[in-house]
Chains A and B, each alone.
Chain A
Amino acid sequence: GAVVSQHPSRVICKSGTSVKIECRSLDFQATTMFWYRQFPKQSLMLMATSNEGSKATYEQGVEKDKFLINHASLTLSTLTVTSAHPEDSSFYICSARDWTSSPPKNIQYFGAGTRLSVL
């Protein structure tokens, strides 16, 4: 099946630093990728939708200047948490939609997630 690779799997950083998380679709083209955030024992909350070659669309309440998303190619989207603070500590998961297969599968495949801990 389709594979989405997410790196790093775990990152620990000091408050005030920026952290970049990568999400790659390995064997399909993903015109659309999604970024989710998950707090302990809670469900996934969609943060933003990124479309290749255009600006990301952020969900209500998500700071776009805080969470920078770049979707520069059909196989790579990045999420940068700028000036991270302890309250940004969370589990971040990306997903990629396979929309270019023939016929289009229109299924989302998920990365393994990134555990961010801000000290």
Chain B
Amino acid sequence: KQEVTQIPAALSVPEGENLVLNCSFTDSAIYNLQWFRQDPGKGLTSLLLIQSSQREQTSGRLNASLDKSSGRSTLYIAASQPGDSATYLCAVRHATDSWGKLQFGAGTQVVVTP
């Protein structure tokens, strides 16, 4: 059974520092991996999607890497801002799941202080 773990569970950094969020998964047979942002009491906003054949994806200040063989993904957020404060979730889709179910990690709660 796939297990998705995110470390750390919480992170607080001063504005301007780079953020590094880790996600690990136990079954490397994934179709893709997705990073989401969730603000308190809100739904999810998709940040980046990495297909299993890709090594990384970039969008603005965000960069996500994927090492499928070791079961790890890292989300980097450059030059953090207070507006980046949120919970970040990673989720994987199994390679053989035709319905596309996502298995989520518990998330990393990020606070960026001014």
The distance from the CB of A58 to the nearest CB of chain B, in whole angstroms, is 12
List residues of A (1-18) whose CB comes within 8 Å of B's CBs.
Answer: 6
> CB of A83 within 8 A of chain B?
no
Tally B residues with Cβ within 8 Å of A.
Answer: 21
Q: Does A102 contact B (CB under 8 A)?
A: no
Question: Which of B46, B101, B106 is close to A34, meaning CB atoms less than 8 Å apart?
Answer: B101
Contact between chains at A113 and B42 (CB < 8 Å): yes
Interface residues of A, count at CB 8 A: 26
When chains A and B are docked, how far (Å) is the Cα of A43 from the Cα of B99? Answer: 20
Q: Is the interface of B mostly helix, strand, loop or mixed?
A: strand
Distance in Å from the Cβ of B97 to the closest Cβ of chain A?
A: 10
Cα A90 to Cα B109 with chains together (Å)? 19
How many angstroms between the C-alpha atoms of A77 and B4 in the bound complex? 27
| Distance (whole angstroms) from the CB of A34 to the closest CB of chain B | 7
Cross-chain contact A49 with B101 (CB below 8 angstroms): yes
Are A91 and B41 in contact (CB-based, < 8 A)?
yes
Contacts of A109 in B (CB 8 A): 46
Contacts A32-B99, A43-B89, A49-B99; is A107 near B105 (CB within 8 Å)? no
Q: Point out residues on B near A: beta carbons under 8 Å.
A: 34, 36, 41-46, 49, 89, 91, 99-107, 109
Binding site for B on A (CB under 8 A): 6, 32, 34, 41-46, 49, 51, 57, 91, 93, 95, 97, 99, 106-113, 115
